[in-house]
Amino acid sequence: MNKTTPTDIRRLSLEQLTTTLQEMGEKKFRAKQIYEWLWKKSAHNFGEMTNLSLALREKLESQFAINAITTSEVQMSNDGTIKTAFNLHDGNLIEGVLIPAEDRMTACVSSQVGCSLACKFCATGLLPRIRNIRADEIYDQVVAINHQAEAHYDRPLSNIVYMGMGEPLLNYKEVLQSIHHITSPEGLNMAPRRITVSTAGIAKMIKKLADDETKFNLALSLHAANDTKRNEIMAINETNSLAVLTEALRYYYKKLRRRVTYEYIALDNFNDSITDAKELVKFSKIIPCKVNIIEYNTVDGLNFDKSSEDRLDKFYQYLQQQGVLVTIRRSRGKDIDAACGQLANK
């Protein structure tokens, strides 16, 4: 006879946990203690919960599971970037990255196993989307990468970017739930302004972020301010064109009054001409924004090269002269396939 799979206790809200424990004949306050162990102290087994009686711990052990992620492989780049392959409880693999810098420690986390968007410049886009990553699995990535930051650099995480594998806004509920556990005083208590969620451009979900009055930052993977070019490299643009995105971004800014970051991977002789820069300047005037120009990182089997230093410099200078707030983000972790666009479980 098949044993029923135990419920993962981290799928329960505090209210559900309270009700369940009362049904088990336990006092109400125990739920709060367990919840604190799970989300503030990041406990991965019931044995760690030392302020609970042994009898209660054994009862929890027999009825519940904590399906924590585990580390499969860790690679360190020459520049100090650390890429980790994580095992999920069902055997799927995902990747997360620690990006150290002088002024910040950033965790780049994944939100889906694989991706359904198939952007033409991205290694993850070559993988099928297997499933959404749950809120507790995203939270676990943050906890594990924070341990790495403290162990290797003696500093905790200062920032989190949802820019790993997958499209965060196609896993909306779990992504927002993970941010709740990361920012809540009952969780890791990190400031929402330290978190950035990146989207390839799901217009209706950008509006939902505004309606839900989210406090974290939004980044849009733009990569071309011209529908023809954007269609060529990002299939999502066929249903979420620049006009559709423009409307969503105006709605978002009107409600939240928060600047958006546009990410722009510079692809040699594709989107790095002065004409492309002029189109980007025009798009940048829609709402207050900043532009991150990202160095392209080559991916086996994809037909793009990074912009030459000369073309990149002219592109950057033009944007600056037109008053666009712009920075060039240099690649980190290229030698271990940990750089932007390279995550593919290698």
Task: List, by residue number, the catalytic residues.
Answer: 95, 340
CA dihedral sign of residues 107, 112, 117, 122? positive
Burial class (CB in 10 A: 0-12, 13-18, 19+), 152: middle
DSSP-derived secondary structure for 241-260: -HHHHHHHHHHHHHHH---E
First-residue to last-residue Cα distance in the chain:
39
Residue 145 in contact with residue 157, Cβ under 8 Å?
A: yes
Task: Round to whole Å and give the CA distance between 98 and 228.
Answer: 35
Beta strands 82-87 and 64-65 are: unpaired
Residue whose pair of structure tokens reads 């983000």 in the numeric block: 329
The answer for residues whose C-beta is within 8 angstroms of residue 293's C-beta and 6 or more apart is: 264, 266, 312, 315, 316, 319, 326, 327, 328, 329
Q: Tokens in use for 17?
A: 């946990």
Query: Nearest CA to 93 among 119, 124, 64?
Result: 124
Task: Round to whole Å and give the CA distance between 195 and 161.
Answer: 6
Residue whose pair of structure tokens reads 């940990």 in the numeric block: 338
Query: Nearest CA to 290 among 203, 220, 207?
Result: 220
* Residues facing 217 on adjacent strands: 196
Residue whose pair of structure tokens reads 């198939």 in the numeric block: 118
